Amino acid sequence: MQKTNQDERRNKMKHIFKKGKNTDLPTLLLLHGTGGDERDLLPLAEMIAPDASVLSVKGNVDENGMARFFARLREGVFNEEDLVYRTKELKEFIDESAVKYEFDRKNVVAIGYSNGANIAASLMYHEKHSLRGGILFHAMVPRRGVTLPELSDSPVFIGAGKRDSLIPMSETQELIKNLNDANAPVTEFWTDGGHELRREEVGAAKEWFDNNFSNE
């Protein structure tokens, strides 16, 4: 019964869509961190690609009043069943939004922070062509023991902090290796900071985006 209710709610995700001045650019899929909402990363989109269209989504999972994109058992330990379900939920929401808002489904680049970066990585782990690329700020390995699709056409930018108390460097390096093994072109950018998002990361992500998508 609970799963039926979940299925009825699927694709009903609170969101903001803004059509950009340059519709040739990828639509930016904005995915907030734990406790955020659909407004949190709008300033990031303005800094990285101000002329791009934006689909900014709020996670459907409530953890003690904090919005997330999927459940976890405890800090750093994901509920894999819910992760798989919510990844499919988000993928289907993007599919339907592309029809509703008339943007190119094949030209979507995610910008995610923390929990949002993890669900973006999960899209790439589970769904071939779910994203044209991704900017993953402070992400973890979403799932182990799965075979990733071929990702040679999906460049990824990973921003991380060397002193991140929530994500050890080895975790980020494992994520990078997994993506590289799937032939994804990965650009990594490390700061001396922790889990916070730093301006130099955003600047590097903008340069990466311009190099990969703005000069086509």
Please provide residue 34's backbone torsions phi and psi, each rounded to the nearest 5 degrees: -55, 130
Of 15, 37, 129, 195, the active-site residue reads 195
Q: How far apart are alpha carbons 162 and 45 in whole angstroms?
A: 24
The pLDDT of residue 216: 56
Which residues of the chain are modeled with pLDDT < 50?
1-10
pLDDT tens column, 147-178? 999 999 999 999 999 999 999 999 999 999 99
Q: How far apart are alpha carbons 167 and 141 in whole angstroms?
A: 10
Of 56, 114, 122, 130, the active-site residue reads 114
- Write the CATH number for 133: 3.40.50.1820
The pLDDT of residue 177: 97
Examine the residue annotation and report whether 53 is marked as an active-site residue of this protein. Answer: no
Q: How far apart are alpha carbons 51 and 134 in whole angstroms?
A: 17
Examine the residue annotation and report whether 130 is marked as an active-site residue of this protein. Answer: no
Q: By residue range, what is the domain housing residue 183? A: 2-214
Examine the residue annotation and report whether 195 is marked as an active-site residue of this protein. Answer: yes
| DSSP state letter for 214 | I
Contact 101, 19 (CB under 8 A): yes
Of 29, 49, 183, residue with least CA distance to 120: 29
| DSSP state letter for 195 | S
The pLDDT of residue 215: 64
Domain count, the chain: 1
